[in-house]
Each structure stands twice: as C-alpha cells, then as structure tokens.
Amino acid sequence: MLQNILLTREIYASEEHNMMREMIRDFIHNEILPQTDKWEKNGMVSREIWERAGELGLLCIDMPEKYGGSGLDFSFNALFIEELGKKAVSGPGFSLHTDIVAPYLLKYGTEEQKQKYLPQMALGKLITSIGMTEPNCGSDLRAITTSAVDKGDHYLVNGQKTFITNGFMCDMSIVAVKTNVGTEEEGVSLLIMESAWDGFDKGVPFKKIGMKAQDTCELFFDNVKVPKGNLLGKEGKGFKIMMTELARERLTVALNAIGGAEGAIENTIEYTSTRTAFKQPIAAFQNTQFKLAECATQLQLHQAFLDRCTQLLSEDKLTAESASMAKYSATEMHSRVVDECLQLFGGYGYMWDYPIARMYADNRVARIYAGTNEIMKLLIARGLFRE
C-alpha cells in the first residue's frame, strides 16, 4: 500500500508525533466525520467542536504555554493540517485560527492583547478570522478601501470584507484597514475587532461549490468604534506584516494539499482493489496502476520539499519565494491527483457520498485563496529578477 513505498518522514517520526497522530485520527474519525453531513446542511460547524479541539490541545499548538498553547514546534501543526486534509475535513477553519491569527498576535501584539485573546483562542472559546479581501480587491491588497479614521482614543471604521473564512462564527477578526487616508502617512494598518461591537455585522455564509461546512462570509463595518489599544503592530505597517506572515499561510495551504493528495490516493487504491470490471479489479488494469504510480511519485516529491519548508518555518527561515513555490506547486499537484483519482471511481466518484467527490470540490479553492497561484508565480519571478 501507499505507506509501504513512501519514504519515512523524519519530521513526523518521533514518539510525540506518533501519539499526536493517533489522537488526531481518533478525533477526526469519532467526532468530526460523523457530523459532516449536518454541518454541510447548516453551512457551518458547531462551537462545541472548536472547544473540543481546544480541550485536546489542537488549537494554537506551537504557541507558548504561558498563553495557553501547547508549546510544541510547528511540525505538530503541520501534522494536524495534513491529517485534516487526508480526510477532506474542510469545515472548521482551525488552521486559519492557529496558523495565521495566533502568530499575528504573538509576533505583533502587545502583552495586553496577547493576554486578552490568546488563552481564549487556545481553548476554542474565541473563534477568529482575518479580513483582508474586499468586494473590489483581493490580489491587489494595497487597494483596500475599508477606512479607520483617527478619533483620538479610538478609530471609526467603515467598510466591508468578503470571502472571510470563519467569518460567520468569528468572535474576533484581524481586519486590514486604511489609516490616514488622503495624507502622506496613508497606509494599511491592522485592527483587532470584536464581532459583538456595535456596527460590526456579518452576512450569511456563502453557498460554495466546495468546503460546504465552512462559514465563509462577508463582514460589514458601519461606524465601528475600535479602541486605539486594538491596533496590531504599528500604524501604517499592516501591509508589511501581512506580506511577512503570508509565507506561513501559504505553507499551511500546501500542507493541506499534500495531505489531501495522500488521502485521495489511499482511497483510490482501496476502491480500485475491490471494484471489478471485465472480471478483474479496476486496480489490475495497467492504466490504473500507471495513473496511481504517477500520483504517488508526485506526492512523494512534494512531501520532501514541504518537509524542508516545514523545518525552515520552524526555524523562522522560510522565504516568501519558497512558500509561494510550495503553495503553487502542491495545490496544482493536488488538483491533478484528485482529478485522476476521481476518474478511477467512475460514476461513483461523482456522488457526494464518496469522499473523493468532496475532495474534488474542496480542493479547487486552494489554487485561489491565500493568494492565487498566478500571484505566487509573480512573487517567485520577482525574486528571480531582484538585483
């Protein structure tokens, strides 16, 4: 089977990783998968699953214990992301919360901000999101128009965000806004905004072609008063912070993609070994074998590169270009693998009851979000021609 031929992955080989893997698998199998249908109908997961993940120490895994995290290194986050990908779990936006919002606070937050939000985040009692994209701009983030006007002890925020992961369930969002509009100091700043505040509204979760249990939605701000103490990092430095932190976000998308590809191949080996045509298993046809051999080869190549990237990220050395290569290449590979695998399921591959169908629908967005793959190539190319 697949595990017999893939190289041992040293980054996940310790006893602690094995124990964590077992725990994650039980959690997914017993507590997540049985709820998928219900969550897909509701367009969102339950708050209980967030709190359960918090109880198990699966949120904010690499955050220091003094803020309620598990104090482990990033490879444990990576393991969790891959395991979720393998089983096509796309409802709870755990990774966005753990791997994007928490590091923003940890790196750029004041002690007061960290104490207020991080322990609640680690417990899953405070769900978070990040609001960058707006109806009129996604790739070109400098063009955002949500504004924050300085009113002395607070900012007055007006504008709108869209396609926000965890948007409907979030209690807090890190929101990119324009400050000092029309002056020489005009720039992007980041504000920590609580969804219970007056003037902060949410749209209903979007109906998407995949990730149906994920509460992706719009956020609206109508004269929201944000205390000055909720500025994250320095005023006008938001764009730089986002560009620095996007490397980690891109790696997490790539990790989910290789987990997804592995899950798809495993599923397909199992299915084609039992389904028969012309009096033999589908797996006996050379076409099936060659297709799966190609998929397994691509998976292994990407695992090797991503293991290196994971290690570099843990050491704070992952470059924007390598993260972009990982995101672009792994998500393209994942799409190809899932497409080939679905074909080998025949008509059943098109049926929602089969995980391969969900994998097919879910994976498509990975080439679009966290920066489109075209933008990834732009960033890589920029590095190539930098003096």
Catalytic residues: 249
Whichever of 130 and 296 has its CB closer to ligand FAD, that residue is 130
Question: Who contacts 202 (Cβ-Cβ below 8 Å, separation ≥6)?
Answer: 167, 168, 195, 217, 218, 219, 220
Q: Are 312 and 248 in contact (CB under 8 A)?
A: no
Question: Who contacts 38 (Cβ-Cβ below 8 Å, separation ≥6)?
Answer: none
CB 245 to ligand FAD: min, Å: 12
Whichever of 118 and 361 has its CB closer to ligand FAD, that residue is 361
CB 136 to ligand FAD: min, Å: 8
Look at strands 187-194 and 172-179 and give their pairing. Answer: antiparallel
Whichever of 178 and 291 has its CB closer to ligand FAD, that residue is 178
Cβ-proximal residue to ligand FAD, closest one:
138
218's enclosing H/E stretch is strand 217-227
CB atoms within 10 A of CB 340: 18
Residue 231: both structure tokens together: 């500025």
Alpha carbon distance 347, 386 (integer Å): 49
Whichever of 118 and 365 has its CB closer to ligand FAD, that residue is 365
**Contacting positions for ligand FAD (CB under 6 A):** 96, 129-133, 137-139, 163-165, 208, 211, 216, 365, 368-369, 371-372, 374-375, 378
Alpha carbon distance 87, 92 (integer Å): 13
Q: Are 303 and 231 in contact (CB under 8 A)?
A: no
Cα separations (Å) of 351 from 34, 91, 274? 18, 19, 18
CB 140 to ligand FAD: min, Å: 6
Whichever of 11 and 224 has its CB closer to ligand FAD, that residue is 224
Q: Are 33 and 203 in contact (CB under 8 A)?
A: no
Give the angle subtended at the CA of 214 by the CAs of 209 and 216, to the nearest 5°: 85
CB 206 to ligand FAD: min, Å: 8
Whichever of 20 and 101 has its CB closer to ligand FAD, that residue is 101
**Helices assigned H by DSSP within 124-237:** none
CB atoms within 10 A of CB 38: 11
